[in-house]
Amino acid sequence: MARSRKPQVVKTAVIAKSALGVSKAQIARELEISRNTVKRILNEAELSSLVDQGKSSLYECIPKAAELYGSKVKSDPEEAKDFLERVTALPAKVQPSSVPFQQQIIVNPSISRAKNGEDSAV
């Protein structure tokens, strides 16, 4: 389903009226828009809400994941390194064995460029 091109004020009015229990048909009449537009706006709002909930859940997991990974680095550095290579956080290349794993972590250069506001598609 295509996204609504209505102004944000209309989208906000549709969402507010729906939250108050007003039917889609009544919202369409009051705002002089089609019922399909009302449906489209409400679907967009629901999808956006679900994405935000998912992001929130993911962000809540980050501290625990970092803690678990930190303990794995201490207990089994080779397995921790293998994991980072599998998820492409580290390039899969041979590192000098004399360098401790903690010093082998290489930051993805595109992440550094993005943080600095540079184009990452270089």
Domain boundaries, the chain: 1-75, 77-122
The 10s digit of each residue's pLDDT in 62-114 is 888 888 888 888 888 888 888 877 776 666 555 555 656 555 555 444 544 44
Any idea which architecture 1-75 has in CATH?
Answer: Orthogonal Bundle (1.10)
Q: From residue 87, how far is each of 36, 59, 75, 84, 97 by CA, in Å?
A: 42, 18, 20, 5, 21
Q: What is the CA radius of gyration of the chain?
A: 24
Q: What pLDDT does residue 112 have?
A: 46
Q: Are 113 and 120 within 8 A, CB to CB? A: yes
How confident is the model over 26-48, as a mean pLDDT?
91
Burial of 86: CB neighbours in 10 Å, binned 0-12, 13-18, 19+: exposed
86 or 35, greater pLDDT: 35
